[in-house]
Amino acid sequence: MMTDDIEKIIDDWGSETFFKGDGIDEEHLEEGIAWLYSSGLESRPHVLILDSPLACQIELNRMEKKGLQKYLSSAASPEAWQRIKSFMFSFSGTEAWCNTLPVVKTAQSIARLCALDRLITGNIQDAVTKRTIRFHKFSADNLLNRFSKIVFYDFMCRSVLAARERSTSRKVQGHAGGINIHYLKHYMDFLRTGCFLSLFFQGLALISRRPKRVRFD
């Protein structure tokens, strides 16, 4: 796989994050969240889908004023991403990893240009501050915060599969080097349900829809 391949993957995930409209596959989203929580030995939470990141922040503040802090007292800690990272770390240093590293460095530079999570989160925080309400830090497991990383992992997984298929006639199943393909695919399927931003707590998950439209000035 070459640089044009990583650029296509960046475009694909960029489109998934910003340009698919505000639709959400609610059934598969809830299944994906249940899977995330189970990875951290957490029970399936109640899922609340709201129209925007600001709406999520306003709802959390409303719950606090209503005395519902018990739902927000302990944030859940899904282990799914840590498991994916551990597979990736076990893969680093192998021949396939080294062969794709020059392209990956290019990919990371491009991905950084596309990673708008800090800018967007900063704008949301400013909007919350203007309303004189409390800002709650968003969780990491969502399209906006995982965009650049999932591009990298998706590219590496495809690269390793391609390399192994070229080097052997045996069908590749289950793992590509140290990457658990099925586990990574499950995580990517969860993101593709439309989870733009998230706030995860014990028993409660707030999800923001993707923006209806995005303007880049």
pLDDT, one tens digit per residue, over 67-106 is 776 666 666 666 788 878 777 766 666 666 666 666 666 6
What's the domain range around 194? 3-208
Per-residue model confidence (pLDDT) at position 190: 95
Helices (H), the chain: 3-18, 26-39, 53-65, 80-91, 95-114, 117-130, 143-167, 181-191
Contacts within 8 Å (CB) and 24+ apart, 91-99: 91/156, 91/160, 91/176, 91/177, 91/178, 91/179, 92/178, 94/177, 94/178, 96/159, 96/160, 96/163, 96/164, 96/177, 97/156, 97/160, 97/177, 99/163
* Number of structural domains in the chain: 1
Most confident listed range (15-19, 84-88, 172-176, 180-184): 15-19
Whether the predicted pLDDT of 126 surpasses 70: yes
Residue, of 153 and 214, whose pLDDT is higher:
153
Whole-model pTM over 0.75: yes
Element holding 48 (H helix, E strand): strand 46-50
217 found inside a domain:
no
Using CB atoms within 10 A of its CB, is residue 134 exposed (0-12), middle (13-18) or buried (19+)?
exposed
Per-residue model confidence (pLDDT) at position 155: 82
Residues 45-68: tens digit of each pLDDT: 899 999 999 999 999 999 888 877
- What mean pLDDT, rounded, does the chain reach? 80
Per-residue model confidence (pLDDT) at position 18: 87
Per-residue model confidence (pLDDT) at position 178: 47
214 found inside a domain:
no
Per-residue model confidence (pLDDT) at position 187: 93
162 found inside a domain:
yes
215 found inside a domain:
no
Q: For residue 202, what are the contacts with CB-CB under 8 A and spacing of at least 6?
A: 42, 43, 45, 71, 73, 74, 75, 76
Whether the predicted pLDDT of 159 surpasses 80: no
Residue, of 148 and 201, whose pLDDT is higher:
201
213 found inside a domain:
no
Phi, psi of 119 (to 5 degrees): -65, -50
Tokens 């551990």 correspond to 86
Per-residue model confidence (pLDDT) at position 205: 93
73 found inside a domain:
yes
Read off the pLDDT band of 170 (50, 70, 90).
very low
